[in-house]
Amino acid sequence: MTIFIMTHPVPNDVKSLVTIKEEDVVIGVDQALSAIYKQRIKVDLAVGDFDSLKNKGLLHGLNTEELPTEKDVTDSYYALKRAHEMPHDEIILIGGAGGERIEHAYAHMNLFYHFPKIKMITEHSEIFKLDKHMQITHKGYINIFPYHEAIITLKGFKYPLDSYHLSPFDNLGISNELTDDTGKIFIEKGSILVILTNKKSA
């Protein structure tokens, strides 16, 4: 079972990005409920302080957990914490990057520290934390950032690396691409944040 947490800004066509099965759980976070409703996606749990939700009528009939406006964690963090309390095979955060408040996008990147196994899918990208070897077949841009430092080797890439030390805040791994059908990422130490971006949106 997959738990989908949808947060603002929600992609314009969620169903083109992921398949939501009947047994899956959807958690809507605050103002994301408006976009979820427009796309006719079922909501199993609504979470947030709802200070950004203009149409409070959308909460009618929903299983809702209303949070105080003044709190120490974001609504998305709380939603992820709740999701980890439920049975699941995978947790995917939908949305969360873009819009008018860039600080929330940055805060969502920090969530990988607390919830390292989640995946984040936005309008144009897929983001995940990686601390082991991986084969990859993405046709767009493959961006690799240290989280918070790592030693990596890249094979089958336009810009290969051989036991390279990615120090904190190193941007060397941005905008890489595959030259082979399949690329290989070897992590010898530490962990990385991988951002797969579609070329048509870059």
Q: What is the DSSP string of 122-172?
A: -SSEEEEEE-S-EEE--SSEEEEEEEEEEEEEEESBSS-EEEEEE-TT--T
What's residue 194's pLDDT? Answer: 98
pLDDT value at residue 176: 98
Q: Tell me, what's the pLDDT at 202? A: 47
182 DSSP 8-state letter: S
Consecutive sets of 10 residues in the chain, 202 residues long: mean pLDDT of each?
97 96 96 95 95 89 91 93 96 91 91 96 96 95 96 98 96 96 97 93 48
Report pLDDT for 91: 98
3-state secondary structure labels for all residues of 41-52 = CCCCEEEECCCC
pLDDT of residue 114: 95
